[in-house]
Amino acid sequence: MSGGTARVDQLVAGFALGDAISHEALLLRDVLRGLGYASDIVAPRARIAAAATADCVPLESWRPQAPNPVIAHYSTASEITDALLAHRGRKALVYHNVTPAEFFDGYDDRIAAELRRGRAELAKVMRAADAVWADSQYNAAEIQSLCAIPVRVFPLPFAPAVVDVAPDPAVAARFSRSMTNILFVGRMVPNKCVEDLLHAFAWYNRGINPRSRLILVGSNRTAPRYYTMLRMLARDWDLTTVCFEEFASPSGLSAYYSAADLFVSTSRHEGFCLPLVEAMHKQVPVLARATGGMPEALSGAGVLFDEMAPPELAALMQRVLDDAPLRATVLAAQRQRMVQILGRDLREEVGALVRELIT
């Protein structure tokens, strides 16, 4: 420690178990505590999930003191912006990307307005920070396109323990391998473009493999109108083997990955995409759209696709599932990628970044 600093707190716009930013904040908190710093995660009270209150301090009761630095995770406009700007100690900004508001127009105009405000305030917040970190090179490049400031790339960390728990036996029993299981994990929000996956699955299920299932795992709370639209599409297209599983516990998530034959993401905007890493760790072949931070997350592993019509994507899904040599090659590349990811010394990285911030 330096200059008497003994506390490093983190600010997040919201906190919920299973959320990627919350996941990173928890990992960083544990590393910081292991390094000898007192450390808490702070979020607006109204945005702390009921199941996560033990791990998060309400912003309204937080009393920061200089010279203690703070680390703020930035992905949208929220009350933490004012708290960060008002803090008299040193400040680090972790940029997770701001989703383009246009994705939410018509589904949730309040969220769209928050995202527009978050992007409008971004340059001001970055200039007020003493250090700017981005969780992917893609995000770092976006920051540097806005203003010429130094940015450190700090890739989104991954904790294997999250998906290495024993699978939930009830979930495992429901999704046995008697059918081909295609999996997607992520919040049910418009930028994920889950409707593109539904459309491709309709072609795959009807024209290639009728004994197939699409398993969609992720919270529906952020954009309920979008989720309702997805349910209506599945019904209108008579897709009886689409399973909307909503939020999953760690044991449930482990079971979904264990049952999966293929992981597919048709998302059009990702700063990094942690579920791709989870799927690779669980030895599930990954198929993802080549956009945003997803190519960086895979780093030569998995299979990337550009724009494809639904029948074309269905055919690509079939090839990855049924072409044994290709599948073996994909899995081998994913194992090599996981060697890189799991070989990180997170304690050393975080310690170096915090020492640099303090001094």
pLDDT digits (tens, 9 = 90+) for 77-99: 999 999 999 999 999 999 999 99
The CA-based dihedral angle spanning residues 97, 102, 105, 108, taken in that order and rounded to the nearest 10 degrees: -10
Fold: same for 9-157+344-358 and 161-342 = yes
Using 50, 70 and 90 to split pLDDT, how confident is the model at 67? Answer: confident
Using 50, 70 and 90 to split pLDDT, how confident is the model at 162? Answer: confident
What percent of the chain shows pLDDT beyond 90? 89
Residue whose pair of structure tokens reads 């049910």 in the numeric block? 188
Using 50, 70 and 90 to split pLDDT, how confident is the model at 1? Answer: very low
3-state helix vs strand vs coil in the chain, percent to 5: 50, 15, 35
pTM of the model: 0.94
**165-217 pLDDT tens trace:** 999 999 999 997 689 999 999 999 999 999 999 999 999 999 999 999 999 99
**Closest alpha carbon to 243 in 157, 318, 176:** 176
Average pLDDT over residues 133-154: 90
What's the pLDDT score for residue 303?
Answer: 98
What's the pLDDT score for residue 234?
Answer: 98
Q: Angle, to 10 degrees, between the axis of helix 324-342 and the axis of helix 310-322? A: 90
Using 50, 70 and 90 to split pLDDT, how confident is the model at 51? Answer: confident
pLDDT at 3 over 80: no
What is the chain's mean pLDDT, rounded? 94
Domain residue ranges of the chain, discontinuous segments joined by +: 9-157+344-358, 161-342
Q: Angle, to 10 degrees, between the axis of helix 324-342 and the axis of helix 274-281? A: 110
What's the pLDDT score for residue 5?
Answer: 61
What's the pLDDT score for residue 64?
Answer: 87
Q: What is the CATH number of domain 161-342?
A: 3.40.50.2000
**228-252 pLDDT tens trace:** 999 999 999 999 999 999 989 999 9
d(CA 42, CA 200) in angstroms, rounded, equals 41
In CATH, which superfamily holds the domain spanning 9-157+344-358?
Glycogen Phosphorylase B; (3.40.50.2000)
d(CA 147, CA 75) in angstroms, rounded, equals 17
Q: Which amino acid is at 196?
A: D
Q: Is the dihedral of CA 343, 347, 350, 351 positive or negative?
A: negative
**242-293 pLDDT tens trace:** 999 998 999 999 999 999 999 999 999 999 999 999 999 999 999 999 999 9
What's the pLDDT score for residue 149?
Answer: 84
